[in-house]
Structures are given as C-alpha cells and as structure tokens.
Chains A and B, each alone.
Chain A
Amino acid sequence: MAQALRAEPRSELDGISVSIRDPTLAYGVVEVLGDLKLDVNEGEFLVLLGDSGCGKSTLLNCIAGLQPATKGQIFISGQNVTWAEPSERGIGMVFQSYALYPQMTVEGNMSFGLKNARVPRDEIAPRIARAASALQLEPLLKRKPAALSGGQRQRVAIDRTLVRDVDVSLFDEPLSNLNAKLRAELRVELKRLHQNLGNTMIYVTHDHIEAMTLADRIAIMRGGKIQQLATADDIYRRRANLYVAGFIGSPPMNLLPGRLDGNIFHGPLEADVTGYDFTGRLRAVLGIRPEHVRTGDAAAALPIRAEARVEVVEPMGADTPVWTRLGDTPFRVRLDGEDRVRAGQVLVHRLRPRQPVAVRRRHRDADLRLCHGEDDETVPATLFGPLRHALCRCDPPSWRARL
C-alpha cells in the first residue's frame, strides 16, 4: 500500500483535490473512458454532465475505486489512490437509489462506516449529532429507512458521507429518484451545504438545470471524453461545439443548417453575420437560442427578421415555449408569459447578431451564433456530406485552447 500511496511532488498538485490522468477502463476490448485529464480544485463543486452512456458514472466509479481503472492514475488529496480500496480514498458517495442499509436505523447507517474504520465509540455519537444537525435529521435517527420518505432517505444518504469527514463527496445522480418539488428543495439544500462545508464535491447528473445551478464548473461528457470544462456561464455563452450547444438550454438551441456566402448566412432564415471571425463560401450551422428571439413591436428595430408559423404552444405561466416552423425547419422560441399566441398564427421573429468580435471578445449579447462542426459527431453526416471539416467555427480558437 505504501508504494501505491506515494505522494506526488507538492508543486504539481497544490490546491488540487482530485486529479485524474488518462484513466482507462476496459470491458473486454471496449474502452469506456478515453484520454482524459481532469483536475478538481479544493473546495470546488464539479458537475459531470452528459446523456446516459456518456461515461460520467463510470468516471465517478473510477474515482471512487468501485471500478478500478485498468490504466492511468488517480490522485485524491495529493496521494496516488489508483489502486486503493474505496474506503481508503477519503471519499463518501451518494447513490441515486440511496443505497441505505434497510435493516439498520438511520443512526446505524451513519455509523457503519465509522465502525468499520474503528473510530472509538465515544467519538461516533458527537459526529453523528453534528452531521445530523446539518440536514435536520435529529428526529429521524432511530427510524429505519423504510419509514422515511424519498427526500428524507436521500438526506440520510448525504449525511452518511458527511459523518465520515471525507475530503471529497461523490454524488451519482442523487436527485433523479425524487419528484420535481423535492428535487428543487434538495438542490438548494445541497448548495447551501457546500457553501457551509467547503469540501470538494463531484456530482454526476443528466439534468442540465441541476448542473447549471449547482456547479462551480461543469464538465460536459460524451463518449468517454470531456467536451467542455467551464463555468456554467461560459458553457451557456461560449460552448465549445455543436454538442454542447444542443445539450445546454431548455428548450435547447435551434441549430439551423445552411450556407455561408461571404458574410451572409443562407438557410431557413437569412442573416448578416458581419463581425464574426468567419467568412467565405462554406456550409454552416446557425445556432439560435429560443430565449433570444424577440417578437412584437418592441423588437422592430432588430436587424434580422424571419416569419414562422406557430405549431404548438406550451404555456408555462412565466414563459411560453412555442414550436414554430421556418419553412420546413422546426424552430423553437421562448416567449414571455404575457404574449398571447395561437397555433396556426404567423409570428415574426426578430434577432440581433452579437457585437463585432473586434470590439469585445467577452460579449454579453450573444443572440446569434454560428457554430462550427469540426470534431463534432452530433451533426448527421448526411447534412454536411464531405464538407464536414470545412465548417465555420463557433468561437475564436482561443476558447478551445483554454480547454
């Protein structure tokens, strides 16, 4: 063990809580995780986000040591734990199905790990009391999991990791089994907890709202690779590729296929994209966020204009997602809740392209964005044919360089 836990030079891992370098996990010949390097800072809340099968849970299990990596290295708190047992890594883990031991009381569930670690008896009680108070579990300590509601069970599961005073807490879709209301409640509670405790948390989810609200940084994963690792704000405004663009946002971004001719985009709508980095004659995808589309008189001054027929209206109170069609292309917009639209109506969309790149790179008003399709698999090959690699870019190269 001593050999496996050899400390790394301090300089390299200073301030880094968890570091993963090229973990490879092979099921037979299939490699699930590719080349991947991920450093999680101390006290950071990192969210691994992706569709099912993207490798996010596998990566989490790798960090936990439940599925030992076949190659690569994992450091936690400056120690190489690649081959260490889960219980020796200084981690706690919360599962989607709570995974409470049904035959033990809440107290028993919380103390099981401590007992296994041979913590003295008189130390266990105060630790349980302290952890229980963090999530208001004191009245439930003597109950068994079967007598708890879903939200309470998940609180116990979270507390079970707190009581062990671990450096890193891992969450595997902890809120997915709860109903919408509880999920929102527990989400806030989790964020408050993180702000109070300040320990490192790694959180796996497929829900981008959870990811955006909780994370210090989000890693969007696909096919075992990280597509983009950035703050929620950056991911929303400066997505690295088409996949990220289509993944984040609700409803997701409209991706309109078309052609770029000089500075004019031709597709389901026409747009002047002067001021972007790309010009020339090539195929391109125009990405427009539904919430950036304006309608009505107030928007009359905006330069880009398109007419669309309303198909389906989904009133949600505060705002109203509307499914429209630009010619044959589906196009979603999100209107204010006060706007009245009916199915069949023709709606005039108006948009404003962002400010020219030359003025400011960190723009605030990115209504219109061209995305590149380079190294991007989501775009069906039939759409682009052989020209897939000659597409225009979404962002200046500098953004990708930061990844």
Chain B
Amino acid sequence: MARSGPPLRRFLNWQAKFAATPMILTALVVFIGCSLWTVVHSFTNSRLPPRLDFVGLAQYERLWSTPRWLVSIENLAMYGVCALTLVIGFLLAVLLDQKIRFEDGFRTIILFPYALSFIVTGVVCQWILNPDFGLQHIVRSAGFSGFSFDPLNDPSLVILALLAAGIWQGAGLTKVIVLAGLRGIDEDVWKARRVDGIPAWKTYLFIVLQMMKPVFATCIVLISARIIKLYDLVVALTRRGPGIASEVPAKYVYDYMFGNQNLGQGFAASTMMLAAVLAIIIPFALFRLGRKRHVGRRLLRCRSGRTPQHRSARPLLDGPASLAPARRLSGKRIMIYGGLLVFSAYYLLPLWVMVMTSLKGMPEIRIGNIFAPAVEITFEPWVKAWSSACTGLNCGGLSRGFWNSVAIVVPATILSIAVAAVNGYALVNWRFKGSEVFFTILIFGAFIPYQVMICPIVIILREIRLMGSVWGLVLVHVVFGMPIITLLFRNCFSSLPPELFKAARVDGGGFWGIFLRVLVPMSLPILTVAVILQVTGIWNDFLFGVIYTRPESHPMTVQLNNIVNSVQGVREYNVNMAATLLTGLVPLTIYFLSGKLFVRGIAAGAVKG
C-alpha cells in the first residue's frame, strides 16, 4: 500500500514554494537580512566602506549629543503632536457623510494631492510661501506693510510650513479610511438615534467615535509610520533650513550616509528609527492579531459590488449616506457646505497657483500676485521645462526624466504585480509550511523605514552589477512594492469561493493553469487597482531614485527637485511650476480617470505607510 505520502501533492507543493521564492527571498534577505546588517553595523565606526570594527555604543552616544539629531527628534515630536490630519480627516469624513450633493466632487478635490509626489507638494508650497511673491507679499501689498509671514526663513515657524504641506497631501488618506469606517457602521444605529431623538453631534461623539476606535488606531499607526519616514517633503520644501531648524531623522540618516560618508553614524540613527517604528507597530499588530477584522480588508475584495454577507451594512464607498436627506437649506446645511467649500479652497488653491504661474511670463510674475489669473497666457515655460530646463550644467529639460520614469515604471509595475499575484495565489490556495510566517514578515517589512535597508541594498546591487542602472531601481521597486500588492491579491483570492478552485482542480488545471485561466481573469478589478497603486507610487518615488540611479537615469521627481532647487542663474518660477505640473500630470491623470478604483488602491496602500 502506498503509505509514504502523496507524491503529486508534494510536487505541487514544491511548485508553490518555487512560485513564492521571490517572497521568501524578500522577506529573509531584504527585510530581515538587511535590517540586521544595518543594526549590527551601527555598533561599528564604519565610514566608507563599512567595516566590522566594533566600538560599542559610541555611535549612539555621539548621536544623542549631536544638536542636529536632537533638533530632528524635536521636529518629529512637534510634527507628530501637531499631526492634525486625524482630526481634520475625521471632520472631513463626517462632513462628507451628511448625504450632501456633489459628494463625489468634494471627495475628488480633497483626495487629489495624495496622488502627487511629496516633491511636487514641496515645490508648490515653497512657491506659495515665497516671501517676495507669496502670501507675505500679497498681505503686504494689501496695505499691511508691517506684516511678516515667512515660515521658510523663520526657524520657529518652519515646522508649520511642513505641517500645512503634510496636511494638504495626507489628510485625504485619513478621510478615506475614516469614511470607510463610518460607512461600515450599521445603519440601524442611525435609525435608533433618530427614534431616540439624540442629536447628531452627540451620536458622533459618544457612539460613533467609540465604535471607530480600531479605525483610529489604524490611522494613528499609518500616520506615525509616515511621519517617521518623512523625507521627500523636507528635501523639496526646506532642505532642513533655515539652518537646521527643519531637520528630520530620515534626512539626518541620508546626509550622514551619503553626504558625510559617516556610515556608522547613519546606521545608528536609522536603527533608532527602526526602534521607533517597531515600538508603534508591535503593540498594534498584537492588538490586531487578536481581532481579525480589518477596515481595509473589506475594500480589498476582488468584486467590489456584490458582498452578500454585508447586505445589511451600507456600501462602503458609495450609496446613501447615513442621515435622511434634508429638504430645505437649513443653517446646519449651510455650515456643512461652507466647511466643505473652505476645505476645497484649501485643496484647490495650490493647484490654481501652479497652473496660473506656469502660464505667466516672468515680468507678470514679478509685478502681480500669485493668485491672480494669468493675463498674457504663454506656453513658453512649459516648452522650456520640457525641453531645455537646466539641472546643473545639463540643459535637456524634464523630457529625459520623463522617459527615464517611464522606463522605470513600466517594467517595475509589470514585474511587481506578476510576482505579488503569484505570491498571493500561493498563499491562499497552496499553503505550505511557513508560508504565513513569510507573509507576516513581508507585512512587517512594509513598515520598516527604508533608511534601515538602503545601504545594504546598495551593496547587494553593486554585487549583482545593477547599481546605478534603471534595472537596479526596478528591482528595488519590485521588492518594496511586494508587501502591499501581495496583501492585495491574497485578500482578493481568499474572497473568491473555494469551490471554484476545487472545480478547477477536478477539471485538471495545474498550478499555473488555474492561476492564469481561472483566477487572474476573475480578479481584473484588483489588478487595475494594483496597477494604479504601483504606477503612481513608483512615479512619485524620490528616495530610491536619488540613491540607486546615476544622474543620466534619474527619474522625473529627482530631476524636478534638481531643476527647482538649482542655484545657478535667475530663478524662473513659471518654468518651475510648469515642470512641477508636468511631473504631477501622470499620477493626476490616473487619479481623475480611475476615480473609485484609485480610492480602493489608496485604502490598500494605506498599509504601505
């Protein structure tokens, strides 16, 4: 009798393991290996190249006695405390939840900055806050000549500028998550409130807020993780200035590693970042593992429309809102619409300023104010930004960066999705021993600050001779995109009826046959979400582009930053704005075309942090 174990089953299992190799390698080599490497080297006095010359805690002692580091921690704390995004996001979500007209329009306006790169955000804010042309100039020319508001040059105010920019970009994310949570609350709660005659604000404060605790926990963790990683925005907006007033840890790490070539110091600082993130993530994960429900998870099903098991709850992203429609324009309605309009203005103004400035000639910019519409419309700045703007001595315009970005985004998106989809498939349908462990590491890896891993990755890329090339950067994007996209596909596949997989097995589909011919065609919506997520994410990336490519293959965001912040010659603000718009054009187009799918992508990307 055959008692030795099913041979074919073993073969299929082997296939599943083979298919999951990229996931296993990423989890073990990058997320665990590289992090450990950095932690170990933080106890050495490595300069360039890194050596295992242990000096104990010397690097940490030095770190904590460096004013720059202390300032950066202080900034981080300030930024964290002032991270009003949660409050603002909640407020926005509540406003949007009032069964208002043009809900989709408001939602689109509030979320669009999230589609943009931090570099774009930074450049725009820099322009609006420019003391000679921006807010200060406008108020002064309105008659208040003594008015002074120059946060970019005032050490005590610069953090506010960062904060305003951060909220502009990030509050939309909180809004999406909170709104999803609000819409997930059973409609009967609202019916009960109306029967019992409890005022709406009390319901929100005492009932809804209590029910949404897990949602807020998610938001806080995501926001904290993002704040700790904060880097691109600082680079583009303030470059840690004035002086060191807006220094942040991520930038400190980068400067010590690649500027001062004091690797040991950089490692120590990045290890501190890792410790901070772990201190946030681990309690959260323990809390979450106990209770399996996840806000994002319901957004991640393959088929968004039909979820019969939730028929009683309201649809998450569309459908009727909680309150009965108001027939007349009451005072309350006016307040709601007023609030939304104010927020919309806040979100739209920078876009308006960008477009108008890019259409003006330099003389008009010098005499006018930045909010005024363009009188003599000229497209010359656009042409110049595209074809002849200078970075240093190279005056080829942004076009080179654009094509570099395309050359990076296309293969990176295709590869990362292919790899992650197979991972998700293996995780759901062909579980093997340890598969869940690897997946957990992968998800944890999504939260590890990149600064911890960049240096060992440089070494790995150099060893496999991909350092500096576009393909090296593609590989990096595949690795760091893997956690979230894998999660996306895993949740999607596990929401499909298991009978389908069984039927396909009875019908004789093999490992790849079932995947390609049954599951993939069924998950086209999630595939679209993944494409949107990856294209915008990779397009907007700055850090990896700066580190892993040579100047001739810099992606567009890096080139934009170089053009805008190049110190040679006269600053041509209109060209800068045109360049910024050009850089933001691709993600913005995707955002406005894809609509709800993008929102789903963001809810998923939320985990990416």
The A342-363 residues at the B interface (CB cut-off 8 A) are: none
The 8 Å CB contact of B8, one of A84, A98, A101, A117, is A84
Nearest B residue (CB) for A84 = B8
A99 and B500 in contact (CB under 8 A), knowing A3-B2, A83-B8?
yes
Q: Are A99 and B503 in contact (CB under 8 A)?
A: yes
Q: Are A92 and B506 in contact (CB under 8 A)?
A: yes
Complex Cα spacing A91 to B508, Å = 11
Provide the residues of chain A in CB contact with B6, threshold 8 Å: 68, 82-83
Whether a CB of chain A sits under 8 angstroms from the CB of B507 is yes
Q: Are A99 and B497 in contact (CB under 8 A)?
A: yes
Complex Cα spacing A394 to B373, Å = 96
Complex Cα spacing A113 to B509, Å = 7
Whether a CB of chain B sits under 8 angstroms from the CB of A116 is yes
Provide the residues of chain B in CB contact with A113, threshold 8 Å: 506-508
Whether a CB of chain A sits under 8 angstroms from the CB of B551 is no
Q: Are B506 and A86 in contact (CB under 8 A)?
A: yes
Majority SS at the chain B contact face = helix
Whether a CB of chain B sits under 8 angstroms from the CB of A236 is no
Complex Cα spacing A86 to B509, Å = 10
Interface hit among B193-201, B282-290, B513-521:
B513-521
Our count of residue pairs bridging A and B at CB distance below 8 angstroms stands at 84
Number of interface residues of B (CB under 8 A): 25
Complex Cα spacing A385 to B248, Å = 75
Complex Cα spacing A150 to B3, Å = 42
Complex Cα spacing A88 to B3, Å = 19
Chain B 385-413: CB-based contact to A (< 8 A → 1; otherwise 0): 00000000000000000000000000000
The A197-229 residues at the B interface (CB cut-off 8 A) are: none
Complex Cα spacing A88 to B506, Å = 8
Q: Are B7 and A1 in contact (CB under 8 A)?
A: yes
Q: Are B521 and A103 in contact (CB under 8 A)?
A: yes
Provide the residues of chain B in CB contact with A73, threshold 8 Å: 1
Q: Are B505 and A116 in contact (CB under 8 A)?
A: no
Number of interface residues of A (CB under 8 A): 37
Chain B 485-501: CB-based contact to A (< 8 A → 1; otherwise 0): 00000000000010110
The A96-136 residues at the B interface (CB cut-off 8 A) are: 96-103, 112-113, 116-117
The B348-375 residues at the A interface (CB cut-off 8 A) are: none
Nearest B residue (CB) for A6 = B2
Complex Cα spacing A113 to B507, Å = 4
Q: Are A4 and B506 in contact (CB under 8 A)?
A: no
Nearest B residue (CB) for A64 = B506
Nearest A residue (CB) for B517 = A112
The A49-91 residues at the B interface (CB cut-off 8 A) are: 61, 64, 66, 68, 71, 73, 80, 82-88, 91
Chain B 5-17: CB-based contact to A (< 8 A → 1; otherwise 0): 1111100000000
Nearest B residue (CB) for A66 = B502
Whether a CB of chain B sits under 8 angstroms from the CB of A368 is no
Whether a CB of chain A sits under 8 angstroms from the CB of B58 is no
Whether a CB of chain A sits under 8 angstroms from the CB of B504 is yes
Provide the residues of chain A in CB contact with B507, threshold 8 Å: 87, 112-113, 116, 160, 164
Seen from chain B, the residues whose Cβ lies within 8 Å of a Cβ on chain A are: 1-3, 5-9, 497, 499-500, 502-510, 513, 517-518, 521-522
Seen from chain A, the residues whose Cβ lies within 8 Å of a Cβ on chain B are: 1, 3-4, 6, 61, 64, 66, 68, 71, 73, 80, 82-88, 91-93, 95-103, 112-113, 116-117, 160, 164, 172
Given A64-B502, A93-B506: 19 more A-B contacts, CB < 8 Å: A3-B2, A6-B2, A61-B502, A64-B506, A73-B1, A80-B1, A84-B8, A85-B508, A91-B506, A93-B503, A95-B499, A99-B497, A103-B521, A113-B506, A113-B507, A113-B508, A116-B507, A116-B513, A160-B507
